[in-house]
Structure formats: structure tokens, C-alpha cells
Amino acid sequence: MSCCPACLSDAIEEFLSYQSGVRGLSANTVTGYRNDLAKLASLLDGQRPLDSITREDLRYCIGELTVAGAAASSVNRFVAAVRSLFSYCRRFEYIAVNPAQELHTVKQPKYLPKFMTISEVNQLCAAPETTALLWTTRDKALFEVFYSSGCRVSEIAGLTLEDFSPDYTSALVRGKGGKDRRVFLAQNAVAALKEYLPERQERLLRHGGTVRGSCSALFLNNHGGSLTTRGIRYILSRYSGVEGTNNPVSPHAFRHTFATAMLANGADVRAVQEMLGHSSISTTQRYTHITTAQLVKTYNQAHPHGNSRQDGDSGE
């Protein structure tokens, strides 16, 4: 057993180093832990001895966050971080009893993921050509790859030319937890990519790249560097804003739309789970609720006795 941390703040720093250095968690995940555990140290005093912290102390912290107006999802993320911290401390015998073992999350409302209709996603994918706001071929390829692959925004930003099959019909992406999976690209996405790639090469050469290119990222910014997640969000905000479709969406809406479309058209839920890189089937099953809701809506709109009919309307 290693030397016990002197106080809560020391334990937090050791825990974060362990998550980053030993478990190899992503920088974003470690930052999330750091932000939540900083709240814990602030509420309980970071210099407090570990073995003096009780379950009632942790419940007090949850109550304080709730009173301050924190969303249920934020409170539950805080609870998860606290559980992980004290589980780590108990594992290495820094404490005799885990005060977070019976710590409960708070109930949060169930929101169905926002997705686009077929006409909406088609309109958005066509927006780079119809509006010519930024870099037409890049932006069209970006949207088509989003919709075709179901990737997260971080996965799109991380794509390189080497990740693709020779015919660009599939790519290997690295998802959460460093897990690799293969995603697939439909004909529209492949065609858009092939139109964009020559311009990508020209942009590299213009900014001092070699014939092979100095940047391996698939999507480039205007200066020939890698397009970041922030840059992708900016591009989408322009095309889905008042200058474009006037239907603002986030990059994740493409992922939701992909999942909904796949399930609505008969794809097996476990196959969709694999394509999305979900670790739990329950995460993927959220989208079955969307497709069911859409079926009910369609039924009520189309059936003569549907709930959307007004009293006295015979439907004739």
C-alpha cells in the first residue's frame, strides 16, 4: 500500500493522475473528473482528512448543488465522480469505509434525442452548395460523412486519410475509451469526399505543404491545419442558422438522425449499437422510443379515426 494522501485535495490529485497515466482515460474525461471533484473540495474544504468525510457530508454537497440550480444531469455526473474517487481510495485502503457506496443519483427527466427529418437533413447537406457560405466541397463532405457514419464530432475531427479504405466506403475511428470501430460511408458521402479531396490537396500546397501534404487530417481549416471540434461547430452553426436552413442543430443531431434512420428502416438494434460505439445497449434503445413515437404520430395523422382528427371531421 502506498502512502495515504494527507487530505482530500491530495487524494483528488492522485486519483486524477491514476486515471490519466494508468487507466489512459482521455483528456476530456479527466478534465470532467477534475471539474466535478473541484466542487467537492470547495464544498467540503480540500484540506480535510479523507477518513473524516461521511455519507452525510456527500449528501450535503448534492443538496448544495441542487439548491444552486444545477441540472440533474450535472448533479449525477458529480455523484459518479465522487463514487469513483472514494472507490479508488477504498481500493488502496486509504479509508476503512467508503462513504459514497450508497450515494444515490437524482431523478432526471427523460429527453428524447433531437433528430432531423429526412427533408431537414437533405436540406442541410445541400446547404453548402445552395448558400456557398464557407468552403463548399469541404462542408458538403463534412455533413455527408456525419450523416452517413453516425460519428461523434470528436471522431470526425480525428479522422485522417489513413483511416479510410481505398474506396472510401469505410473508415476506422477511435471512439470513447480508445475503442476502435469501423464506420461506413454511403454513396453520397463517398462522392462528396472525392470532390473535396483535390481541393484539400490544393489548400495544403498553398499553405506550404508537400505533395503528400503536411497534415494528415481529413478535414482542414482555411489555413491548411486540422479542423477542430470548435471549427466544426462553427461551420454547422453557419449553415443551420439564419444564413442557411434557419433550423439550428448541433453536430450530435447528425448522430441522432443516423441512429433513428437506421432503426426506422429495420436495422437490428445491436448492429446500430456497434456502429455508434455504444458500450451499453440501453443507450442505443433510446432511439427505438423515437421511432415508436414517429409511428404513432404518423398513424394519428393518417388514420381516419386518429387522435389528430378534430371532432366532427369524417376524414372524407
Report how far residue 171's alpha carbon sits from residue 163's, in angstroms, rounded to the nearest whole number. 5
Question: Does residue 315 have a pLDDT over 50?
Answer: no
pLDDT band of 289, cuts 50, 70, 90: low
CB atoms within 10 A of CB 232: 20
Identify the residue whose cell numbers are 462553427. 234
CB atoms within 10 A of CB 190: 19
Average pLDDT over residues 36-42: 94
CB atoms within 10 A of CB 295: 11
The cell numbers describing 200, all together, are 484539400
Question: Does residue 122 have a pLDDT over 60?
Answer: yes
Question: Does residue 213 have a pLDDT over 50?
Answer: no
Question: Does residue 211 have a pLDDT over 60?
Answer: no
pLDDT band of 306, cuts 50, 70, 90: low
Its pTM surpasses 0.75: no
User: Cβ distance 30 to 12 under 8 Å?
Assistant: no
Residues 6+ apart with CB under 8 A from 44: 8, 53, 57, 61
Closest alpha carbon to 145 in 179, 109, 186, 176:
186
Between the ranges 21-30, 187-196, 257-266, where is the mean pLDDT highest?
A: 187-196
CA dihedral of 167, 170, 171, 173, whole degrees rounded to 10: 180
Give the whole-number percent of the chain exceeding pLDDT 70: 82
Question: Does residue 102 have a pLDDT over 90?
Answer: no
Average pLDDT over residues 302-311: 56
Closest alpha carbon to 218 in 156, 165, 133:
156
Instruction: Tell me the DSSP string of 238-288.
Output: HHHSTTTTS----HHHHHHHHHHHHHHTT--HHHHHHHHT-SSHHHHHHHH
Instruction: Dump pLDDT digits (tens) for 162-175.
Output: 999 999 999 988 87
Instruction: Dump pLDDT digits (tens) for 127-156.
Output: 999 998 899 999 999 999 999 988 889 899
pLDDT band of 206, cuts 50, 70, 90: confident
pLDDT band of 309, cuts 50, 70, 90: very low
Give the bridge partners for 55, in sequence order. Answer: none
User: Cβ distance 19 to 29 under 8 Å?
Assistant: yes
Identify the residue whose cell numbers are 490529485. 13
Res 310: pLDDT: 44
Catalytic residue list: 152, 176, 252, 255, 278, 287
Average pLDDT over residues 246-250: 89
Output the average pLDDT for the chain. 84
Report how far residue 234's alpha carbon sits from residue 242's, in angstroms, rounded to the nearest whole number. 13
**Out of 28-32, 249-253, 263-267, which region has the weakest mean confidence (pLDDT)?**
263-267
pLDDT band of 44, cuts 50, 70, 90: very high
Res 299: pLDDT: 63
Res 1: pLDDT: 42
